[in-house]
Structure 1
Amino acid sequence: MDFDMKKTTTRQIFVEAGVSKGLSIWASKVLFDCFQELLWERLKEEKEVLFKDFGTLRLVKAKARERERDGLRKLFPSHYRISFRFSRTARDRLNLELPD
């Protein structure tokens, strides 16, 4: 499946994937709506990041990667070093308090 990510919505991708697996378009849309509702419930429980729209799912993925890195740092403290720099606008957009 080739998608133009600037023009394709998450729902369209999900529906296309469902149809390719043998689901009807209607069933794929219903499944996506249920998935989105469940995801929103899970996101509401997350207190670390304020989510404003469904597009901020990438922040959840970033948080998961961060937790994974933290786990690796605990396992290999002297062999696993990563430093991150956030611009002021990125910090403001994420609404996180990060040290300068």
Structure 2
Amino acid sequence: MNAIYRWVHPLYNAIMSTKITLDKAGRVVLPKPLRDQMQLVPGDTLQLEAEGECITLRPVRPKATLKKECGVWVYQGEATDASIPDLLDLERERRSRDFRG
């Protein structure tokens, strides 16, 4: 790791220790530098684990839907039933237009 990388990403692998306060509704605000470091945006989901006096929050990240196999990117996600007929109809229409000229 070079000095430029450390300058661009100063919080990379940094440990943050700060006090946060619960509001009346029991909510907390994560400090902006932490949200930026963790690439958290409004609407992101966090997994909460509690053990004794320790509370751990982990971001829930979607699994990658593309995986490279033999040099080709392959979709790994599940297809939705509703999208397959629509895609087939669109492809048939495209081929029909191409055939007619």
Same-fold call, TM cutoff 0.5: no
Instruction: Name whichever structure is richer in strand by fraction.
Output: 2
TM-score under structure 1 length normalisation: 0.24
- From the CA coordinates, give the structure whose radius of gyration is larger: 2
Identify the structure with bigger relative contact order (alpha carbons < 8 Å, sequence gap 6+): 1
Instruction: Name whichever structure is richer in helix by fraction.
Output: 1
TM-score under structure 2 length normalisation: 0.24
